[in-house]
Amino acid sequence: MLVDALRDMSTGWVVDANGRRGALDYRIRPLTRAIRFIGVALTVRSRACDNLAPYAALLFARPGDVLVVATDAFEPAGLAGDVLLGMARNAGIVALVTDGMVRDIDGLNAVGIPVFARGLSPNSPQKDGPGEIGVPVTLGGMIVNPGDIVLGDQDGVVVVARDRAVAVAAALEEVGAKEARMDQWVRDGAKVPPWLDAALAEKGVHYLD
185-194 pLDDT, tens per residue? Answer: 999 999 999 9
For residue 124, which of 139, 102, 96, 95 has the smallest C-alpha distance?
A: 102
pLDDT greater than 90 at residue 2 = no
Tell which residue, 4, 36, 30, has the closest CA to residue 149.
Answer: 4
Mean pLDDT of all residues belonging to the chain = 96
Predicted structure pTM score: 0.93
User: What is the rounded CA–CA span in Å between residue 91 and residue 61?
Assistant: 6
CA dihedral 96, 65, 125, 56 (to 10 degrees): 180
> What confidence score (pLDDT) does residue 135 get?
98
Q: Give yes or no for residue 1 having a pLDDT over 80.
A: no
pLDDT band at residue 122 using 50, 70 and 90 as cut-offs: very high
Local structure of 133: helix, strand or coil = strand
Domain ranges of the chain: 2-166
pLDDT in tens, 134-146: 999 999 999 999 9
- The whole-number pLDDT of residue 209 equals 75
Q: Assign 207 a pLDDT band (cuts: 50, 70, 90).
A: confident
Give me the residues paired with residue 165 across strands. Answer: none
pLDDT, mean of residues 150-177:
96
Nearest residue to 149 via CA among 54, 20, 53, 37? 37
**Cβ-Cβ contacts under 8 Å for 60 (sequence gap 6 or more):** 42, 133, 134
Q: Looking at residue 96, what is its pLDDT? A: 98
**149-153 and 156-160 strand pairing:** antiparallel
CB 54 within 8 Å of CB 44: yes
Amino acid 160: pLDDT: 98
3-state secondary structure of 167: helix
Domain 2-166 belongs to what topology?
Glucose Oxidase; domain 1 (3.50.30)
- In tens, the pLDDT along 68-94 reads 999 999 999 999 999 999 999 999 999
